[in-house]
């Protein structure tokens, strides 16, 4: 009886890959938020920043850019890792490729940095 319970638990807790459409929709949404936040930041003038009441929108845009941009980079790097699974022969090579992908995606998502 315990073997049946273990088998059922193993089957119930097996990892499930999300649908491809979900990943595409998430990436599209994150990219849109990042672009909108970057556009908001580009439109602000430093002279308007003297008044603390004007700080809310740029602060929110910075937060959205950082959060959505980071999530977008991670989603894209994770997709690359899945696509290239097995290409790295050592853990070090895998880590180097991952760091390279992180840097490349960060430059792509946040080009002004």
Instruction: Please give the structure tokens belonging to residue 27.
Output: 């990436």
Quote the pLDDT of residue 32.
92
**How confident is the chain (113 residues) per 10-residue block, as mean pLDDT?**
77 80 89 88 76 83 89 88 77 87 87 63
Quote the pLDDT of residue 113.
54
Instruction: Please give the structure tokens belonging to residue 40.
Output: 């908001």
Do the beta carbons of residue 18 and residue 93 sit within 8 Å?
no
Give the predicted TM-score (pTM) of the model: 0.67
């Amino acid at each position: 009886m315990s073997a049946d319970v273990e088998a059922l638990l193993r089957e119930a807790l097996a990892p499930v890959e999300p649908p491809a459409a979900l990943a595409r929709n998430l990436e599209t949404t994150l990219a849109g938020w990042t672009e909108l936040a970057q556009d908001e930041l580009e439109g602000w003038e430093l002279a308007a920043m003297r008044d603390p009441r004007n700080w809310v929108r740029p602060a929110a845009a910075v937060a959205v850019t950082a959060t959505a941009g980071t999530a977008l980079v991670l989603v894209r790097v994770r997709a690359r890792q899945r696509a290239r699974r097995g290409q790295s022969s050592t853990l070090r090579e895998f880590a180097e490729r991952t760091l390279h992908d992180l840097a490349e995606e960060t430059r792509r998502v946040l080009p002004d940095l």
